[in-house]
Amino acid sequence: MHAISGKVVVVSATIYGALVCIIVAPMYLFSFQQSGSLLIRIAGGAYAFTLFPAALISIWSKKVGAVWMILVATLAAVALFTNEIERYRPQDGLMSLVVGLAWWSLISMIPCLMGILLLTAEKRV
């Protein structure tokens, strides 16, 4: 089985972090004044503003960058799940909740996957 190179994961994480910073950060800043839980605000800020620096840090220390990406992804998943459950109305149907949770788990776990790949790539070096 081929091991994924740590350099490939670092470059992918850096590109993803830069795209999130460019695309999500302005939306986060403009929607910050809207009512929302403190958890969703903290998780949104961490996701939008720290993935790119974590990817850059992983150039020098893969373990630190990977752990940070995993922690941010976990925080984002918890916040997004909580937000989706709070917004759920029974008249919407259970399937809308399931689809919403699946969507947010996919989005929030991308950095987690990159972090896990970084940790495993470091072990194989």
> Is residue 100 included in any domain, yes or no?
yes
Average pLDDT, the chain: 85
> Is residue 51 included in any domain, yes or no?
yes
Measured CA to CA, the distance from residue 78 to residue 72 in angstroms comes to 10
pTM score of the predicted model: 0.84
> Is residue 112 included in any domain, yes or no?
yes
Number of domains in the chain: 1
Structure confidence by residue, pLDDT tens digits, 42-71: 888 888 889 999 999 998 988 999 999 999
List Cα–Cα distances, 24 to 27, 34, 87, 90, 116, in angstroms.
Answer: 5, 16, 21, 30, 23
Domain residues for 92?
A: 6-124
Position 125 scores a pLDDT of 42
> Is residue 13 included in any domain, yes or no?
yes
Lowest mean pLDDT: which of 1-5, 9-13, 106-110, 114-118?
A: 1-5
Helix (H, G, I), strand (E, B) or coil at 10: helix
Position 57 scores a pLDDT of 93
Position 31 scores a pLDDT of 67
> Is residue 71 included in any domain, yes or no?
yes
> Is residue 1 included in any domain, yes or no?
no
Indicate if the pLDDT at residue 27 is higher than 70.
Answer: yes
> Is residue 44 included in any domain, yes or no?
yes
Measured CA to CA, the distance from residue 7 to residue 85 in angstroms comes to 38
Position 78 scores a pLDDT of 92
